[in-house]
Amino acid sequence: MFWKKLFKQNDIQIDILKEWQAHDNFYADGVLVRVQNGKGILREVYSSYEGNQIWSLAMQDRPLIQFQGDEYFCPTCEKIVRSGYGMDQSFHLEMPDINKSKQEVLLIDAVRNLFPLLGLLKSGYYAILDTCLHPTDGNGHLFWESPYQGVSKGACMYYYGDGEWGNLRPYFTIASEPIHKCNKERINYYRENPGCRGIAYYMEGYLTTLLDGHHKALAAAIDGKDVNALVIMQGTLWYRSLHNGQNENFTIGCRMGDMNFTSVDLQMTKREKQELSAKFNGGCREITEANQLQQELMLVHSDESFPVDIKGLADAYPMVEEQAEIDRVGEINDQRIDDIKNGIIFCDESDICHLMSALSGLKLPRGIEMGRFFMSHNHNGYVYEHILRCIMRYPRTEELEQYFIDEMVRLEDYHSNIKRLVLEYL
């Protein structure tokens, strides 16, 4: 493959600086790497087109994925995401360890397998997270059927309201390969050999681009599971003077998602820190690239169909709003649920809405039980409506349909919206 040859022919250097296991804000196992003399063939590009500011993940001069919108840098605005599949070159890595179960291959060994791919990146610092991704775009579409041009909340930094923001963590993914590459035999292979890692590139908000592992992700989706993935996150260096701008007193760090690394983590020499200080003081934080990138996406939006039935697969996974609530609510176990039902833990109406959104996003079996429990108490109409909407996210059954009808009859004299909601569902 061409990037293997490229890696061997040049003086690319990749160093593993730090490895950690999940704890606190380091929410997944990971590795910090430094790429030196990277080729910059696979890179992030910031530019503008027809008056819109655009973020692209580009391979050579062609964008694979684009975010686009008049207010791109407004974090509360939904983004238009376009999947161009502009590079027909597959990222499949022909290395046996990549196609082994996560339990068989240590993270450090898996990262070393990625060195040929990492050499295509720009020089800089990157985190490689060993995590799981939902094989959807967060908007109700399977990752491989996400519209070539559609609105995505997953690309945003989620805003709860009242000045509270969600995390910058990878949860969802969209494809970088066209549908015609989908192969039923490969899907079946990964269903029979589950647990292998895909490879994704972190974009923004909760969203990633899947570079390798499309069949692994689809196999996981068919079985209602998340897909294991190594997620590449590019670091952004920051610099802060400690005493009135004096260069001899400053601190340097690197941010990746909502993780921060110090200059000690980055293993910077004194000279490197001084050079970086001079760069920042000169106003050259990071030069955006708006050069010869092909701005017109080669939109691949055909009538091709999948060789397997994908109908309803995305329904098993959280939407963006639900994932945000899962983060906010924290761990939900049987003891916590029992304590709520027994009155040991008090939930106000706001807590109820947050908890029900998280339960429905996780599709925990006791979510319906808790919904019916909360419905049996007196609440404002919007709380009843929210609870029912959450229960409706579960697979439809005759028992549930009858329950909704009974609730509609019980509440229709006081809450007219409930009747409309149930009739739309039925």
**pTM value?**
0.86
Residue 418, C-beta contacts closer than 8 angstroms, at least 6 positions apart: 381, 384, 385, 388, 407, 408, 411, 412
pLDDT in the model for residue 298: 46
Q: In what order do the strands lie in the sheet containing 124-133?
A: 13-20, 29-36, 124-133, 227-234, 197-204, 207-212, 172-175
Q: Minimal CA–CA distance to 38: which of 119, 102, 109? A: 119
pLDDT in the model for residue 299: 47
Q: Minimal CA–CA distance to 265: which of 9, 84, 16, 91? A: 16
Tokens in use for 282? 């000169």
Q: Minimal CA–CA distance to 285: which of 255, 328, 244? A: 255
pLDDT in the model for residue 236: 86
Can you give the pLDDT of all 426 residues of the chain as single tens digits?
444 555 555 688 999 999 999 987 788 999 999 999 988 888 887 766 666 667 778 777 777 777 765 444 454 455 556 555 544 544 555 566 677 888 888 999 999 988 988 998 988 999 999 999 999 988 888 998 865 556 566 667 777 877 788 888 999 998 888 788 888 999 999 999 999 999 999 988 898 989 989 999 999 999 999 999 999 999 988 877 665 555 556 678 888 888 989 888 988 877 777 776 666 554 433 434 444 455 554 444 445 678 888 888 999 999 999 999 999 999 999 999 999 999 999 999 999 999 999 999 999 989 999 999 999 998 888 999 999 999 999 999 999 999 999 999 999 888 888 989 999 998
Residue 325, C-beta contacts closer than 8 angstroms, at least 6 positions apart: 354, 355, 357, 358, 361
- Domain layout of the chain by residue ranges: 2-236, 330-425
Compute the distance between CA of residue 352 and CA of residue 66 in angstroms, rounded to an integer. 37
pLDDT in the model for residue 342: 94
Bridge partners, 65 (sequence order): 57, 83
